[in-house]
Amino acid sequence: MATTQQRLFSMMIAASCWALALGAGAALAQTPIAEPPQSAPAFSLRAALPDDLSPWGMFLNANMIVKFVMIGLVAASLVSWTIWLAKSLELCGAKRAARRGFEALAAADDLRSARQALGASNSPVALFVSAAINEAERSNGLRTDGVKERAVALLSRVEAQAGRSMTLGTGALATIGSTAPFVGLFGTVWGIMDSFVGISKSHTTNLAVVAPGIAEALLATAIGLVAAIPAVVFYNALARSITAYRGLLSDAATEALRHLSRDLDRDATPGSYADAEVVYLRPSAE
């Protein structure tokens, strides 16, 4: 009897389990399957790329700081070309005038005839002649050795002043040539930092997205080199021309001192010359 009841109890439990399983299956069949969530829209690569990758387009798309750096470098380049053109023309005219003055001074017999040959010119050679004559006239009655020493000192100052006036503006070329690459490098570093910030915001490391920003940054270094290289070349060329010009002035000053020495000796010993009545540098009694 107990065995029969146990069997009936087992059968009831099994039936209950089957009923529960069938109910759960029906419930699952009636429940709609949830669709997987839609992923976030993919990063639009075409929208991130600039339309114009020319130098002008990269300048327009660059960071504001990088733009200021580029504008400054372009302005420095224009200054370099302007200084080179102006100083080249000035040096050309000064060399021509110094060469003509030296030829007139070498062809003259004395300082007074040289001053007449130079006329109203205000070139350094004419200043050499005038300075030598004025020093000799102011030193009338003094020893000739002292006159020559004072004349040498005076002409050296005139020569130095003429050389300094010719070097005006060349210091800007040296400054631009030495600092422009570093200014361009500063713009590049700033642009690359800005590009990395943009990369972190866009959550992409695609090279096509990174490259335009880096190219815009490198454009600053390129403009810095474009400004620096001509400035260095112009500075060296002008330095060589100014050195040659100073050589011409030195020759002219030496020629003026030679005339002064001869004229002083003639005034000191007029009896040793055929024309003893000629007074070269001594002021007249009038």
* Tokens 């070329």, residue located: 173
pLDDT at position 208 is: 63
Query: Please, are residues 93 and 240 in contact by the beta-carbon 8 Å criterion?
Result: no
Residue 65 tokens, joined: 């700081």
Dihedral sign for Cα atoms in the order 241, 244, 250, 253: negative
Cβ-based burial of 282 (10 A; exposed 0-12, middle 13-18, buried ≥19): middle
Cα(154)–Cα(142) distance, integer angstroms: 17
pLDDT at position 206 is: 65
- Please report which residue ranges of the chain form alpha helices under DSSP H: 2-30, 45-48, 55-61, 64-107, 111-118, 124-138, 144-167, 170-202, 207-268
Report pTM: 0.69
- Nearest Cα neighbor of 185 from 34, 69, 263 is 69
Query: Please, are residues 124 and 162 in contact by the beta-carbon 8 Å criterion?
Result: yes
pLDDT digits (tens), the chain, 286 positions: 445 555 544 555 555 555 445 454 444 445 454 444 444 444 444 444 455 566 666 767 767 888 888 899 999 999 999 999 999 999 999 999 999 988 888 888 888 888 888 877 788 888 888 888 888 888 877 777 788 888 888 898 988 998 888 988 899 999 999 999 999 999 888 888 877 777 777 676 666 666 777 777 888 889 999 999 999 999 999 999 999 999 999 999 998 888 888 888 877 665 544 443 344 455 544 3
Count of all residues that appear for the chain in the document: 286
**280 contacts: CB under 8 Å, gap ≥ 6:** 110, 111, 112, 263, 266, 267
DSSP annotation string for 21-66? HHHHHHHHHHSPPPPPPPPPPPP-HHHHS-S--SHHHHHHHS-HHH
